[in-house]
Structure 1
Amino acid sequence: MGFINLTDVTSGYKERLRRLALFDPLYDLDRKRERDQDNQPIDMKGLGLLTLLFFFEQKLLRHYKTSREDVADFLKEMTNTTYRIDDRQLSRLVQVIIETFRPQTGVKRQYTAFDWETKTDTALTYSILKSDHFDREQQRQYYTLDEDGLELIFATKEFYSEFQLSINQLMLRKQLEKGEYKGALRQINEMRIDVESLDTRLDQLKHEISRSIISEETFERYKQLLDDIYLRLEREEEEFQTLRQFVLETKNRLYAKDLHIKEHESYGLIIKIASELESVHYTHTGLLNQTWELKNTTLVKAQESIYYTGVDVFNFDTDINAKIFSEPLPLEAMTGVFAPFLQVETNSRFSPLTFMAEQAIIEQKDAPTDVDTYKIVDFKDDPYLQKTSAYYEALMQDLLEAMTTRQVTTLSDYIDDQNKRNVNLYQSKAFYHFFLILHQRSPVANSDLEDDRQTVLTSAIYLLKNQTLSLTERPEIIRKTTRYSIQDFTFELTEGTADAL
C-alpha cells in the first residue's frame, strides 16, 4: 500500500458528519411502527419525505402559510388509494412527523458522533423545520423549511451523479484562485474518478443501444439521452480549456516572480496540478469523441437495423395475399391495404403562392434597347417638350449670367443666389432634370448639336456660343426642398469648343 496522507483523508470529517445527520430524522420515522385500519404497515419514512417535498413545493409557489392541516390534506390525497386512514389517525401521524423534524420544545435536533479529524466527540445541531408565524385568530401555527431542510431535499435529488464533474470544476477554480494547491490536487483526483465513472456508463450505454433499440420510440429516447450527454460534455470541455489556461497563467506568474525558488513546494504543486489536469482533460476529450461516435455511428446503425429487420421479416404472401383472400374485406379496407403499393397521387393545381415566386420579366423588342437614361428626343409638334425647351433656355441664360456677373461656381451657390433674388426655379422637377442631363453630356458645347435635329437642349446650348460648360461632381448632397435632392456640381466655363479642348 502506498503512502496515504491521513490528514487529507479526514479533512472536512465534521462537515460530512453533519450531512449524514440530516438523514437521522427520516431513520427515526422509519423505526416507528404505525398501521392503518386494515392493519397494514405505514411507510412513515416515506410520509416524512413526502412532507418535506410538500413544504419545498409550497416554498417554490411562494405559499408562506403552511400548517399541520395543510400537510394532513396533502397526505390524505396522497394515501387515499394506498392506506385506509381516518382523519383522526392522520392528524396524529402529521403531528408525529412534524415533531420529529422540529421537536415540540423548540430546541434544534442534536447528533452526537466521534470526529476522527479532531479525535474528539462532537455534537452537531441542525434544524429541518422552523416555525414561520402564529395566527392568533385561528389558533394555527405555520411552518416552513429551514436551511438544513433545504439541504436535505437537495441531497435526496438525483443531482450529483450527472453534474458532479461540473461542480468539481467550479470548486477547483475557487481553490486555485485562493492558492489552495493541495486541495486543488485532491479535487482533480475526484474529477478523474468522475470521468472514469462516466466512461463506464458510456460503455454500458453502447451495449444497451445495440440490443435495446427495437422501435422508433426507443430510438428517439436514446437519441435525446445522447444529445443531453453530448451538450453536457461540451460545456465541461469548455471549462477544462478555461482551467487549463488559468493553471498555465498561474504557473507563469509564479515563475516570473521567482517564486519557484522562494516557494518551491507551491511551484511543484502547480506543476503537478497542470500535469494531472492535462491527463484528466485528455480522458474527458476521449469521452466527447466517444459520445459523438455513439450519436453518429452506433445510433444510426441501430436505426437502420430496425428497417432491415422489418424488411427481412416482411412476407408478401403472408402479410398481403393471405390478408386479402382469407378475409372478406370491404372496399374501404382494401384501399388501405393497397395504398402502400400504389403510386403517390399527383395533382397539378394553382397555388396563390405562385405570385410570390421569382419571375423573369422580359420585354420583347425588335430594336435594341437604348440605355441612355436622359435620352434627348425630337420634340416636333409636342407642346410639352417645346415648353420644357423654353424653360431650359431661360435656366441656361440665368446660370450664365450668375457665373459671369456674380461669380457662381457651384450648384449650391447658384441655388443660394436664386434665394437672394427670390427666384425659385429649383422648386421645379425640370430644374433637376436639366442639371442631370448637363452632367451626363458634360462637357457641353455648340459642337455637340446636330444640324438636322431639334432637341429640348438646343436653344439652351446655343447660348454658350464659343464657350464650353463642364460639370464636375462634389461629395455634398443638396436638399433645398422636401421632395427633391441632388448631388452638388462645380461649374467651369472655358473658351473654345469641347473638340478643341
Structure 2
Amino acid sequence: MEISIRSVTENYRERMQRISLFDPLYELGNKRKLDRSGKRIDYFDLGFLTLLFFFENMVIRNRKVGAKELAEFLFRLNSDEVDLDYEGFEDVARTIIEVFRPSSGKRKTREFYNWETRKYENIQYSILKGNRSDHDTKAQYYTLDEQGLELIFATKEYFNEFQLSINQLVLRKQLEKGEFTGALRQIDEMSLDVKNLKCRVEKISHEVSRNIVSDEIFQRYKKMVEDINTRLGHEDEEFRELQSFVKETRERIGNELSSEKERKTYELVLRIERELEEVHYEHRMLLDRSLELKTTALTAVYDSLYYAGIESFNFDQEVVGRIFSSPLPVSSARSLVKPLLFLEKSSVWSPLSVFFNQRIEGGARKEEQHDFYDLAEQEELDQDVKANQENFRYMARIVLESLDSEGEVELNQIVKCVEYSEYKDILDNKSFYYFWIILHQRSPIELNKIDVDEEKLLGKAFEMLGAVADTVHVSESEEIIGWRGRFEIKNMKIKLEGYRDASL
C-alpha cells in the first residue's frame, strides 16, 4: 500500500512551529559558562525551571515577576547544586530572560523549508513578553507569551494538577481574541477537568479514612488537602474573573446587533456564559467538598487515631510495672505518674460573683396551656395538606413526562429539564425534595394495592402513577445533586414496573 505524500506533509508549518518553541531551550543548553568551581552551568534545566516559575506565578495571578524575583527563586532552589552566589544567579536570570525575550523587543524567528507549500518560510514566536514596569525601582516585569504557554502545555501530561488552570488561561486568550467557538470546546474540557478533580478528591477522602495510621501519614495527607484547597481557591478566583469578562463581552456585543453575524456571535456568548456558570457551580461544590474534607474528615480521623492510642495504652504494663519492677525512687515515680493525673479540682464561691450579669425573670410566670387545636388552626393544617397534595400530583406529572420508553428516569435528568423550563421555581420548593424522600422510603410501592382515598398526601400522585404502571421502585446513588447552594439530595432512579405508555 502506497503512502500518501499529502498526509505526511499536511500541517507541516504548524508542526514545525511547535518544534521551534524548544529552540530557546537548546540555545541555552549550548552555553558554556562555568560556576566558581569550574563546573558547567546547566542552562537548559535552569531555563525550563524559569518557564515553570513564570507559569506558576500566572496561575496564582502574581504579575510582579522580573529578573530579581527569578534570581531569588533560583538561589533558594539551588541548595549548593551550582556554585554561585546571589549576584551570580542574577546574571543567570538576566541571561535566560535575554534568550526568551531579546532586549531588542523583536520576536524570535526560524527559517525552514515548508514541504507542504514547497517554499521557504519564516516562523516568528515569543516565549516571554513585557508585562508592566515599576518606575520607582526601574524594574521590568515579564509574563509568559502565547507561545510560552504552548511550550508549557507541551509538557502538560506531567502537570495534571495544573490542567484546569491551563484551560482557564487558554480560555481567556480565546475570549480576548474573539474565538468563541473554540472557547466552547475549552469549557467542555474544563468540565471534564472538574470531574477528574472530583474523582481525585473523593479518592483522597477514602484514603484518609483508610490509610492514616500514624501522625506522620496524617501530616502528609493534611498538607496534600491544604495544597488542593489553595489551588481550588485560585481557580475559583479565575472563574469569577472569566465570568465578569464574559458578561462585559455580552453587554458590549448586545449593544451592536445590527447584522446576522453579530446576532450569531451574541448567541454564542450567551451559551458560553451559561455553560461557564455551570462549570463554575460544579467547581464551587468541589471547593466546598475539599474544605469539608479539611475541617471535618481530617479532624475526625485524627481524633480516632488519638483514641486508638488511648485504648491501646496498658496502664498496668506501662506505669505500674515500670514503677515496681525497677523499683523507682519516689521523685521519679511521681514524675512518671503526673501526666496521667487530673488537675486539682475545688468548688468555691467568689463574693465578686454578685457583680456579674444576672438573669432577671418576670415575677408573674406564664402558665402553659394544654388545649386542643381550635377550628382556625385545624383549617390551616387542612390547607397545608391540600397544598402538598397538589404539589405532589404536579411532581408526579413531571415524572411521567420525563420517563423514557422503558419507564425509567433519574432525578438529575428531571432537575436539568426543569431547570431550563418555565417550571424551574419548583426546585426552590421543599415539597419537591420531600416527594422523592417519601417515595424512596416507601419503595417498592405496589400501586394496585393502595387505596388512594386513604392516602392524605400522595393519593393524587399515586392515582396518576397507577394509571400507567403497577409498581414504583426508587433507588439512590452516591452522587449528590445541589440546587443554588440551598438544597442537596442524593441522585435517585425511579422505575415503573409494568409501565404502559399512555401516549400510545
Q: TM-score under structure 2 normalisation?
A: 0.42
Higher Cα Rg, which structure: 1
TM-score, scaled to structure 1: 0.42
